[in-house]
Structure 1
Amino acid sequence: FFMDELLSEIFEVDSIVTVVDSKHITRHLDDQDEAQEQIAFADVIILNKTDLVSNNDLKSLEQRLVNINPTAKRLHARDCNINLRDVLGINTFDVNRKIEIDPHFLEDHHHHHHDDKVSSIAFREEKPLDLAKVDHWMSYLVREKGEELLRYKGILYIKGEAYRIVFQGLHMLFSGRPDRKWNENEKKQSELVFIGKDLDKEELERQFKNCIAK
């Protein structure tokens, strides 16, 4: 995934890990778009130096990180002392993995924090989607919005399709394919997460709703 054929036979992308300096990161998030983007790309965020900040400051920082990237796993650490099993061999870059969205993100309607250029938007929909409309929408997003979209992923419930459709993208690199069959007792629903710069939530939501099957 996101590699040429030769390299993919030898290597695989396991996960993208970002280390955050809990003591000083707020200043960097306020002043640097690059710091926000590194948070956005992460599958795992290690909040280091947690012993140097108060519980209230740590809670506020975590909420800001969730607003930027609600799907990243967060680990607390001192001196970056963590269990390597939490960051290695976890296959968080695999499109077949379940999307885990922070529940507080879905409950909170005020997702954008301060003047962060990078933010995230999540959609859930129980009605089935029209595959042709989804294909058209994704083609448009990759072509016209690829530079603004840092990462995006989802599981789609397509009308008349027995299989889940999974996808994941990074800028204009995109992969989507049928996954497994929906389980008999499994709740069928689409879940999508977009992480990017200056996202227009109303526009994306309108385009997404337009993909619902008639």
Structure 2
Amino acid sequence: MESLILPKRGLPVTIITGFLGSGKTTLLNHILTNNQDLKVAILVNEFGDIDIDSQLLISTDDNMLSLSNGCICCTINDDLIDTVFQVLESDKKIDYLIVETTGVADPLPIILTFLSPELRDLVRLDSVLTLIDAENFTSEHFESDAALKQVIFGDIILLNKVDLVTEDKIKELEKDIYCIKQGANILHTEYGKVPLPLILDIDVSKPTNYPSESVTNSHDHHHHHHDHHHSNHLEIDGFMSISFECNCPFNVDKFQNLIIDNIMNQVFRAKGILWFAESKLKHIFQLSGKRYDIDTQEWENNPKNQLIMIGRNLDENKLKTKLKECLVSES
């Protein structure tokens, strides 16, 4: 594998998710010790989670471990964005960023952090890896929202510990996974041993490559340096991202009917801030797969609608027209 020389900007990021005991730690160790001169920064919630080979350890700062092979390991302070900036600003050479999520977490907020205006020009979300413990995973797990989302959002599913189970059990698990995520990309592993080129710098997380249109419409003017040449990568996979903004409110019933509408079925993920004529509150909207939820809070500034939708082969004009039909007209 050629050595990857990457500037800190456009730093590729891999998010590793999976239930407790699925083998995330073992995989992290595998990445730390097998990184053909790749300088990796790993962000974890607790150092205790990773049993780093003591021979590798050089020094420990408050929340940073430095390893003899040039890798570093950071604990995430309260703020993920903050921790990422610490790594980006450190004087260490970093080629690659890996973020481990807690086993019970829904990975979406972490994914969205890397797609946020603060980070999306500095890093490139490369992929989300979901580890599954083949021995202990049963279809009941899918009754848990977190497990479901870990699979839905996983660009690659690593079916780990396959040495401990029968062929039949593997086939059954795969069937369950395909039920939830058609065409899932599943790799079988033992002890998290997987050739790194199969999981790192594979550029499968297309939603990050915002089409230039949504970029020019966005109101964060302090980000002038979008490189538009990324947007065409999007087409290859049929993945695209559409943003919609408007300074008048939605009718809540029309909007909810639109979500159920078949055109919205092609949207995998959506997030946004919604303003409904019927409410004085700001609505935080998240959609993933067939599920969506809406939380409310007070508006701190003028109400408006801002929505980003990510999906395959979306008909942008049709979707925007449908959204406009849900708005309450000025009259």
TM-score, normalisation: structure 2: 0.32
Higher RCO (C-alpha under 8 Å, 6+ residues apart): 1
Larger radius of gyration: 2
TM-score, normalisation: structure 1: 0.47
